[in-house]
Amino acid sequence: MMTALDSPPVGVVLDDIVRNHRPRSAAGSVPRGIPHLSSPPFDRFGIAVATTSGEVFSSGDADVPFSIQSISKVFSLAMALGAGNPDALWSRVLREPSGTSFNSLVQLEVEHGIPRNPFINAGALVVTDHLMEKSPDAAAEVLRFLAGQVGHRNEGKGPFIDELAAGTELAHSSRNLALAHFLTDFGNLRRPAQAVVENYVRQCSIMMSCTEVAKAGLFLAQDGQGAQGTVVSPSQAKRICSIMLTCGMYDAAGEFAFRVGLPGKSGVGGGILVIVPGECSICVWSPRLDSKGNSLAGTAALADLSDRTGWSVF
Ligand code: GLN
């Protein structure tokens, strides 16, 4: 870990990260089956750091809203756990890395409808179903939660659901619907499969900037304390971070832990949320993806940032 004397200010480091990691070519891929994510400018790159001492640093396209996609799974899980009775949820979804892609069907069939973890699509569908028991419009609840953490409560400002994008993704959601029907068949979904997938896709279609995602994730670096008070207990915050470390990057979780050494959660919109417990919450965004669906430039930037700052859980 660098000391205050030998480390350059965080803002200077972030500017340098943007200079070095903003893509210069259209390497990598864009997600199949999500039409509105098929043609983002390849050279978009933003990064933001929200610290536990209340500062926010950012650089590059850190204030451009992007589709948070699977980063939403962290927030819906936290809401489900924070609402009480975590055992009811943990009897329906495990905490093991899957070693398979985020939307794989195979494991779910073999393992009798109990998803490996809440961050693969099958697990997130169960979490959404759990949230829908209390509030049928769970996506709106997640959005409200995010707006509260970010500090925007006015119409037209802050996080929003891109309903048009959600609609087009829904029209291409055969695989998520298949997962939901499998879950129903195994007795692990209570609401109709179509309604759960619809709600899940709307959560994934929430638009936020790097600055907003970093602020929203800060409760995980602060023992569960968010902008409006307790989100989850310290023990639950620790556990959510543990699942991020082991399962947050799908079948690249091991490689990400090796390169970055921090709990993270990616989305196919090109965003990655990373937590440095006790220190800060980081969000990086660059839209082109590696073969596992994680931001190519974003992962490289986080590996560099962790090496330069010493931010790591190891
Ligand atoms: N909405 C996407 C899906 O369900 C989210 C995937 C992701 O970000 N990994 O396929």
Output the ligand 1 site: residues, CB below 6 A: 69-70, 102-103, 121, 176, 201, 204, 267-268, 293
Contacts for 84 with CB less than 8 Å, ≥ 6 apart: none
Residue of 34, 38, 266 best suited for mutating to test ligand 1, as the one with most atoms within 8 Å of CB: 34
Over residues 69-98, the mean pLDDT reads: 96
CA distances from 302 to 170, 234, 256 (A): 31, 25, 9
> Domain count of the chain?
1
Q: What is the mean pLDDT of the chain?
A: 94
Residue 85 lies in a domain: yes
Predicted confidence at residue 1, as pLDDT, reads 46
The CA 12 to ligand 1 mean position distance, Å, reads 33
Specify the pTM: 0.96
The CA 149 to ligand 1 mean position distance, Å, reads 23
Strands (E), 177-253: 206-208, 225-226, 229-230
Going by alpha carbons, the residue nearest to atom 10 of ligand 1 is 103
* 216, 222 contact by CB (below 8 A): no
- Distance from CA of residue 80 to its chain's centroid? 15
Predicted confidence at residue 32, as pLDDT, reads 81
The CA 57 to ligand 1 mean position distance, Å, reads 28
Residue type for position 119: F
Whole-angstrom distance, CA of residue 123 vs CA of residue 134: 18
Predicted confidence at residue 156, as pLDDT, reads 58
* 75, 215 contact by CB (below 8 A): no
Predicted confidence at residue 87, as pLDDT, reads 95
Q: Which atom of ligand 1 is nearest to the CA of 293?
A: 9
Which residues constitute the domain of residue 73? 10-309
Provide the percentage of residues in the chain whose pLDDT is more than 70.
97
Per-residue pLDDT of 223-249, as tens digits, reads 999 999 999 999 999 999 999 999 999
pLDDT at 6 over 80: no
Predicted confidence at residue 219, as pLDDT, reads 98
Contacts for 210 with CB less than 8 Å, ≥ 6 apart: 46, 47, 48, 58, 61, 62, 63, 64, 66, 271, 283, 284, 285
Predicted confidence at residue 4, as pLDDT, reads 47
Helix (H/G/I), strand (E/B), else coil: 77? helix
Whole-angstrom distance, CA of residue 101 vs CA of residue 104: 5
CATH of the domain at 125: 3.40.710.10
- Residue 293 — pLDDT band, cuts 50, 70, 90? very high
Residue of 126, 268, 285, 291 best suited for mutating to test ligand 1, as the one with most atoms within 8 Å of CB: 268
Over residues 109-129, the mean pLDDT reads: 96
Per-residue tokens: 137: 């419009």
Helix (H/G/I), strand (E/B), else coil: 197? helix
pLDDT at 155 over 60: no
Residue 314 lies in a domain: no
- Residue 8 — pLDDT band, cuts 50, 70, 90? confident
pLDDT at 157 over 80: no
The CA 15 to ligand 1 mean position distance, Å, reads 29
The CB density around residue 198, as the number of other CB atoms within 10 Å, is: 20
Q: Which atom of ligand 1 is nearest to the CA of 250?
A: 9
Whole-angstrom distance, CA of residue 265 vs CA of residue 274: 7
Q: Which atom of ligand 1 is nearest to the CA of 169?
A: 1
pLDDT at 130 over 50: yes
Residue 227 lies in a domain: yes
Predicted confidence at residue 237, as pLDDT, reads 98
Q: Which atom of ligand 1 is nearest to the CA of 267?
A: 8
pLDDT at 278 over 60: yes
The helix (run of H) or strand (run of E) holding residue 49 is strand 46-51
Catalytic site residues?
A: 70, 73, 200, 250, 268
Residue 147 lies in a domain: yes
Residue 304 lies in a domain: yes
Over residues 183-202, the mean pLDDT reads: 98
* 150, 212 contact by CB (below 8 A): yes
Residue 3 lies in a domain: no
The helix (run of H) or strand (run of E) holding residue 80 is helix 72-82
pLDDT at 5 over 60: no
Whole-angstrom distance, CA of residue 143 vs CA of residue 123: 20
Over residues 84-113, the mean pLDDT reads: 93
Residue 59 lies in a domain: yes
Burial-class residue 71 by CB neighbours within 10 Å (0-12, 13-18, 19+). buried
Residue 268 lies in a domain: yes
Closest to 74 measured CA to CA, from 247, 288, 293, 306: 247
